[in-house]
Amino acid sequence: MPDKKVLIVHYSQSGQLTEIVDNFAAGFSAAAVEKIKVRMQKEFDFPWTNERFFDAMPESVLGIPSALDSFQPKEESYDLIIFAYQPWFLSPSIPATSILANEEFRKRLKDTPIVTIIGARNMWLNSQEKVKKILTDCGAHLVGNIALTDKNNNLVSAVTILHWMLSGRKDSYLGIFPKPGIDDDLISGMDKFGKMVNESLHNNTWESLQKNLVKEGAVEVKSNLMFIEARAGKLFSIWANLIIKKKNRRLWLIFYKYYLFIALFVIAPIVLTVYMLIFKPFLVASIRKRKNYYLGLQ
């Protein structure tokens, strides 16, 4: 039987998603896998400056692509495509959006099984909804989703990721905070998921893949983060639509930055406490339903 053809496409700034993808690919028979690490024509410098970091918000949220450096997969079609990406501001990152807008990529998505791999801080639900829509528009079949996240407390991981993104160092902030990003054990354990996807590819058992991935902990949905993200996603969209039209964009991005800090560190914890104590006990069934939705592929 000829080898199945597998394409793995990703972009990474710090190298975290590259490590995730490499460990995942180790679960496959190496000869069959083509890996493409995408570069941008105009690279996003890493580490970020404060200003450039927030400047990426409007285009990320509105899904406005930039030019890729070059993108030419070797084959005309594949038996499986793995699309690995990171969310920026609750939306696919600008590089991820740019890959999804690329005609060469879109052509190959048509009628092809797709597995998405997400390497996030902890909020990826909104961006995966956007990715799912684009995949459907391209005629692709999403057969699996793996989402790796930072398991630390939401506010702690917000501090540590900013330290990492603005310094370029994936180390403990002030020697007090935990290491930023996704835990090393989760990253090195990706080969297990690679093997599962490889098995489904060879046995053509895509229907049971996601259920098995969830069972093995490849995706987790936390109700407090789901609650925050649902609200923040809508608000980010309002900010992005407002800022994109402004001539004094820099000033508006400063307003947005302060809004974000207040929303994240002051408003969200208060609203969340009220929700957890007063409303959540009455919403058990609908929360479970929404969690199951995000764990699945629909």
Ligand X SMILES: Cc1cc2nc3c(=O)[nH]c(=O)nc-3n(C[C@H](O)[C@H](O)[C@H](O)COP(=O)(O)O)c2cc1C
Smallest gap from Cβ 206 to ligand X, in A, equals 26
* Phi/psi at 65 (5° precision): -80, 160
Among 6, 17, 99, 146, which residue sits at the site for ligand X (rule: CB under 6 A)? 17
Nearer to ligand X by Cβ, of 14 and 23: the residue is 14
Calculate the alpha carbon distances from 185 to 190, 198, 254 in Å. 9, 21, 37
Among 13, 97, 98, 128, binds ligand X (CB under 6 A): 13
For ligand X, how many residues bind (rule: CB under 6 A)? 20
Closer to ligand X by CB, 32 or 295: give it: 295
Whole-number minimum distance, CB 278 to ligand X, in Å? 27
160 binds ligand X, rule: CB under 6 A? no
Assess 201 for contact with ligand X (CB under 6 A): no
- H-state helical runs in 110-148: 125-137
Cβ–Cβ < 8 Å for 120, 105: no
Decide whether 12 or 200 has the Cβ nearer to ligand X.
12
- Rule CB under 6 A: is residue 89 a binding residue for ligand X? yes
Alpha carbon separation from 283 to 40, 50, 275, 294 (Å, rounded) = 44, 39, 10, 17
Among the listed residues 203, 199, 182, the one whose alpha carbon sits nearest the alpha carbon of residue 117: 182
Site for ligand X contains 119 (CB under 6 A): yes
**Applying CB under 6 A, which of residues 86, 98, 152, 160 lies at the interface with ligand X?**
86
Q: What is the DSSP letter of 113?
A: E
Question: Which listed range, 10-18, 24-32, 100-108, 129-137, lies at the site for ligand X (CB under 6 A)?
Answer: 10-18
By CB neighbour count within 10 A (0-12 exposed, 13-18 middle, 19+ buried), where does 197 fall?
Answer: buried
Contact 291, 226 (CB under 8 A): yes
Q: Kindly state the smallest distance separating residue 161's Cβ from ligand X, in Å.
A: 6
Among positions 121-140, residues that touch ligand X (CB under 6 A) are 121-124
64 burial type by CB count under 10 A (0-12 exposed, 13-18 middle, 19+ buried) = middle
**Are the CB atoms for 253 and 74 separated by under 8 Å?**
no
Among 24, 28, 53, 78, binds ligand X (CB under 6 A): 53
Site residues for ligand X per CB under 6 A: 12-14, 16-17, 53, 56, 86-90, 119-124, 161, 165
